[in-house]
Amino acid sequence: MVAVKETVDQVKEIEVDQYKYGFVTDIEMDMAPKGLNEEIIGFISARKNEPEWMLEWRLDAYRRWLTMTEPNWAKVGYPPIDFQDLYYYAAPKSGKQGPKSLDEVDPELLRTYEKLGIPLNEQAVLAGVEGAKIAVDAIFDSVSVVTTFKEELARAGVIFCPLSEALQDHPELVRKYLGTVVPISDNYYSALNTAVFSEGSFVYIPPGVRCPMELSTYFRINEAQTGQFERTLIIADKGSYVSYLEGCTAPMRDENQLHAAVVELIALEDAEIKYSTVQNWYPGDAEGKGGIYNFVTKRGDCRGRNSKISWTQVETGSAITWKYPSCILRGDNSSGEFYSIAISNGMQQIDSGTKMIHLGKNTTSRIISKGISAGKSSNAYRGLVSAHRKASGARNFTQCDSLLIGDQCSAHTIPYIEAKNSSAVFEHEATTSKISDDQLFYCLQRGIGEEEAVALIVNGFCKEVLQQLPMEFAVEAQKLVGISLEGSVG
């Protein structure tokens, strides 16, 4: 089929420049020596001015990590990572540590975020942009650069700050919850993260409070050969609500960079956490050189009755994505949701999905996963839905759909269903389709260009998930979907 060769040619031409966030910020950095050992961990902890128990926790994790072996069951392939060949701490040298106002931030950094379209200037946000305000915590390599709207949030009792700051100002809160959803020995990468994490966001919503604005953290990896290990902890106390957005980009480099994050969410009784991610890490070039390894552990604990956690993600970047945002449905009547669009193009590899663990009574979960593969990529959905012996009345609905574009890509679905309670009702539907030539022809015949037609059809395919995103993200996500599929039509 002539189209196949054309697709391949077009994919090969996916200009590396199409990733428009690939620039590097030239700025003086304060870095730890290369490599990983107890001294480096001490260095990181000291730089952060952490309490003693924190350093001990890190060292414990590091020692545990040394005894673990790297897992290799995922449907992804990559050359071995030399963990000693990385910098584990890199921070912009300018400015002091701790909370800053915008005019204390290096202008070069501000320019970076402006280029990325991240609203750091509160006045600009209030003045210009229609729609809700968004508080932003901007994290550059290993440190938070600035957090906006903190006063306003504080008035509502909401704590939103970098984790390092929370360890100074609210150590008891952090100690109570950190590591309770993802314990040290959970897996190889979370253990590593626990040892070397440098920054992340901390959110605490007090009882009964509906967070007055969207909270957002924007992660930017800049320095070469650094691993990014961020740690985020979000606690929604009884009856509270928060919507949180996570965005990420990175420069284009020839070497791969490791991003091993851990996100822990805790929802107490009657509370709700909505966590959205638009991930656009550098995916590597058309030959598969470079790109971020995105190995992430994200887990939500619906601790209280009637609590609710929902994960919404649009994953378009990364050379390799390996993540399963999950929900532990502990509280009775709790519910978990997972909405995902995972797009792979070029030589990307994705092994992603979710785990819904039903423990309490009458718990519900909902999974809508849309995988789109193009180019020579590989896209696997791996999901686990399980009901504990005592989880009576557990209900799940899963829909995983795959869309293939072109003839060189692949899509896989690997569902695990474990129902140990006889009253559990689990539904699973899966479809695999191609964008049919007839559909494309129909659009073309009406005057719609090829790339616009693919974007139209793919957005239709992803509609259900896009509708879950907060409005500001939804528009950006739609455009991102279109861009990440440029040149993929076959």
Q: Which stretch binds other proteins (CB under 8 A): 118-126, 206-214, 321-329, 436-444?
A: 436-444
Give the Cα separation of 437 and 142 in Å (integer): 47
Interface with other proteins includes 461 (CB under 8 A)? yes
Interface with other proteins includes 460 (CB under 8 A)? yes
* Near other proteins by CB under 8 A: residue from 192, 443, 480, 485: 443
Give the Cα separation of 299 and 315 in Å (integer): 17
* Near other proteins by CB under 8 A: residue from 459, 476, 482, 483: 459
For other proteins, the closer CB: 155 or 446: 446
For other proteins, the closer CB: 273 or 457: 457
* Near other proteins by CB under 8 A: residue from 418, 441, 475, 479: 441
In the complex, minimum distance from the CB of residue 380 to other proteins, in angstroms, rounded to a whole number: 23
Q: Which stretch binds other proteins (CB under 8 A): 59-67, 259-267, 288-296, 432-440?
A: 432-440
Which residues contact residue 449 at a Cβ distance below 8 angstroms, ignoring those fewer than 6 apart? none
- Other beta carbons less than 10 A from residue 50's beta carbon: 18
Tokens of 374: 């193009």
* Near other proteins by CB under 8 A: residue from 56, 449, 471, 479: 449
In the complex, minimum distance from the CB of residue 446 to other proteins, in angstroms, rounded to a whole number: 4
For other proteins, the closer CB: 176 or 463: 463
Site map 360..389 versus other proteins, x via CB under 8 A:
------------------------------
Q: Which stretch binds other proteins (CB under 8 A): 128-136, 218-226, 272-280, 453-461?
A: 453-461
Interface with other proteins includes 447 (CB under 8 A)? yes
> For strand 320-323 and strand 335-344, is the pairing parallel, antiparallel, or unpaired?
unpaired
In the complex, minimum distance from the CB of residue 6 to other proteins, in angstroms, rounded to a whole number: 11
In the complex, minimum distance from the CB of residue 422 to other proteins, in angstroms, rounded to a whole number: 35
Interface with other proteins includes 446 (CB under 8 A)? yes
Interface with other proteins includes 422 (CB under 8 A)? no
For other proteins, the closer CB: 392 or 459: 459
Interface with other proteins includes 474 (CB under 8 A)? no
Single-letter code of the amino acid located at 207: P
For the chain, report the end-to-end CA distance as a whole number of angstroms.
Answer: 10
Give the Cα separation of 72 and 77 in Å (integer): 9
Give the Cα separation of 277 and 232 in Å (integer): 13
Give the Cα separation of 257 and 86 in Å (integer): 9
Interface with other proteins includes 448 (CB under 8 A)? yes
Residues in contact with other proteins by the rule CB under 8 A: 2-3, 436-439, 441-450, 452, 456-457, 459-464
